[in-house]
Amino acid sequence: MPDFSFLLLHVADPAASATFYTTLLGIPIIDQKPGFSMLPLRDGVMLGLWERDTVAPQSSGQSGASEVTFSVADAAAVDATHDAWQRRGVTILQTPTEMSFGLTFVAVDPDGHRLRVFAPATT
């Protein structure tokens, strides 16, 4: 099986999106060129930010139709992350809410990509 190595988001302005993610997640921009920026997530997986007008073949997707999800240790971490992101002015679509899989909230990046943070439910 091929290795999972990239999560690519099609964005309006890769440099601006890279600044958003580096500030939000505290990760460095490791590559930046016209139309593309790259940041490391973890375990060798990279976040690629590709200028949507230059994606080949042309993208047909819509921002917000899928989610990038981040797990945290517990409910307190969900609340702390929510509060920190809200203070930074990140748009919140769903405040911390208990769901069948755990406590979660949803925010969006500048291009409308959904960002979900959750702590798994304990049974």
pLDDT tens digits, 64-98 = 788 999 999 999 999 999 999 999 999 999 999 99
For the chain, how big is the Rg over CA atoms in Å? 15
| Cα separation values, 35 from 55, 77, 107, 114, 117, Å | 9, 34, 24, 21, 28
pLDDT at 12: 94
User: Which of the residue ranges 58-62, 73-77, 86-90, 106-110 would you say has the lowest mean pLDDT?
Assistant: 58-62
- C-alpha–C-alpha distance, residues 32 and 97, integer Å: 36
Diameter of the chain measured on Cα atoms: 48
**pTM for the whole thing?**
0.90
Confidence of residue 63 (pLDDT cuts 50, 70, 90): confident
Residue-wise pLDDT for 27-50, tens only, equals 999 999 999 999 999 888 999 999
Q: Which carries the bigger pLDDT value, residue 66 or residue 118? A: 118
Contacts of 29 (CB under 8 A, 6+ apart): 18, 19, 22, 37, 38, 39
pLDDT at 66: 86
pLDDT of 1 > 90? The answer is no
Strands (E), 1-123: 6-11, 31-33, 36-42, 45-51, 67-71, 91-99, 102-108, 114-120
CB of 14 closer than 8 Å to CB of 22:
no
